[in-house]
Amino acid sequence: MSQPRKRMSLSKKHSLSGWIFLAPATILIAAMSFLPMIRALILSFKTGVGVNMKWAGLYNYTRMFQDRIFKTALVNNFLYLIIQVPVMLVLALILASMLNNKDLRFKGLFRTAIFLPCATSLVSYAIIFRSLFAVDGFVNNALIHMGILKTAYNFLGHPTSARIIIIIALIWRWTGYNMVFYLAGLQNIDYSVYEAARIDGASPMQSFFRITIPLLKPTILLTTIMSTNGTLQLFDESVNLTSGGPANATITMSHYIYNMSFQNVPNFGYAAALSYVILILVAILAFFQMKVGDKRE
């Protein structure tokens, strides 16, 4: 007589059905993300072009220490990170707290107006800022008419002013994006907490530092990590706003990787090594931010 087949338990059926549904996404992620990452890692240890590429060991990584443009790009990325990210997040937090006031009229209009720059195309807003700060642009004309400048100033032709314009553009573009996260977090804080604090004599500033910031700590940590990640991969502003100039003074690491791959003589091995430097920097900074910011009881 044939042995009766063992029936699969309900938990195993649920587990199997779950893996069946996850399989397509898992295969796609592996094929489109992890496989290219492994290929890029192998490529970073090679040098040459096309079929003539040969194994070079750590040459691409040691080359970075003598690469003046890479050092400039690295400094620029951290300059934008140190200045732009704190200013943007503080401004977003202040705006979110103001727009969370239940007695404020036209809240929807103000929220939409502040978030609207985030809906603007990256290329479009970079071109707009480029035209605004051009020698014959609106900013120069306005400053001359107000008597602040006698002649037009080439904002994009000087390294310091060009970097400042990139920082201003980033703050304008991304403040509303982070404000939405803080608004969502503030919606989960019962307004009676603020009313109780006001009855106890707490000033708006005390409520902000003693209630808002502690309760929004996970959201602040999330936006800090995302902003750090985005700033270290900054590309559009460098390419479309300043073209990395003047004389590579505002170039970023992602822009330099693009140039090494498609603009200059192709050097995909060195470009892959630069990409992994960005990956390592993002991972290290995210790790430290998690350690410092995620203090769970």
Q: Nearest to residue 189, comparing CAs of 217, 226, 223, 225?
A: 217
Check whether residue 104 and residue 222 sit in a common domain. yes
Give the separation between CA 117 and CA 90, rounded to whole angstroms.
17
Check whether residue 141 and residue 38 sit in a common domain. no
* Prediction pTM value: 0.87
User: pLDDT tens string for the chain (297 positions)?
Assistant: 455 555 667 778 778 888 888 899 989 988 898 898 999 999 999 988 776 788 988 999 999 999 999 999 999 999 999 999 999 999 999 999 888 887 788 888 988 899 999 888 888 888 899 999 999 999 999 999 999 989 999 999 999 999 999 999 999 999 999 999 999 998 888 888 888 888 888 888 888 888 888 889 989 999 999 999 999 999 988 999 998 988 899 999 999 999 998 888 788 999 999 999 999 999 998 888 888 766 654
Domain that holds residue 38: 10-43
Q: Does the residue 55 lie in any domain?
A: no
Q: Count Cβ neighbours within 10 Å for each residue of 175-195 and write b for 16 or more, e otherwise.
A: bbbbbbbbbebbeeeeeeebe
Question: In 10 A of CB 96, how many CB atoms?
Answer: 26
Phi, psi angles (nearest 5°) of residue 54: -135, 160
CATH number at residue 263: 1.10.3720.10
pLDDT, residue 1, reads: 47
| Structural domain count of the chain | 2
Q: Does the residue 50 lie in any domain?
A: no
